[in-house]
Amino acid sequence: MTGSLVIDASVGFAWVYPDQATLGTDALLQDVAAGATVVVPSLWFLEMANVLLVAQRRRRLTSAQRKEALARLTALQFVADDEATHHAFGKISELAEERGLSVYDATYLELAVRRDLALASRDEQLRTAAKQCGVALLGKAGD
């Protein structure tokens, strides 16, 4: 796959935490290495930093593993979309309410809809909402 796609934190975590990786997330990472552009809301960076810190605190990762994961993510190229704050009280909140999503998950969906991009997520509720909104999905949630 070439072109652009939106990923959520579940995919990013799978890229750096081996027991979360699937054939689908590995294939997406290969696509990125081959030149696919990953577009993420600015929120993604905060979510990733937090999920890795929580994993360390729960002793799923060591401090060294967390720092290595952060370094691997830093080495990847992302396009940060900063428009979510302009849509938080409008379209994002509406999507969250209508589709039964958290505002955070609705942020990824709104980005995919607004930019007409495919979405990669392991979150089944987000995937279902994306399908309902006509967003193309990449990979399977659990493969």
More confident residue, 143 or 24: 24
Q: Could you tell me the residue range of the domain that residue 124 belongs to? A: 4-138
Using a CB cutoff of 8 Å and minimum separation of 24, what contacts does 67-70 make? 68/16, 69/16, 69/17
User: What is the pTM (predicted TM-score) of this model?
Assistant: 0.92
Looking at residue 18, its pLDDT comes to 79
Q: What confidence tier does 73 reach under pLDDT thresholds 50, 70, 90?
A: very high
Judged against a pLDDT cut of 90, whether residue 1 lies above it is answered with no
Give the other-Cβ count within 10 Å of 97's Cβ: 11
- CATH number for the domain spanning 131: value is 3.40.50.1010
Chain-wide mean pLDDT for the chain?
93
Answer yes or no: is 143 within a domain: no
Domain count, the chain: 1
Whether residue 98 lies inside any domain: the answer is: yes
Kindly state whether residue 51 falls inside one of the protein's structural domains: yes
Phi and psi at 121, nearest 5°, equal -155, 150
pLDDT (tens digit per residue) in 14-68:
999 878 898 999 999 999 989 999 999 999 999 999 999 999 999 999 999 999 9
User: What local confidence, expressed as pLDDT, does residue 99 receive?
Assistant: 97
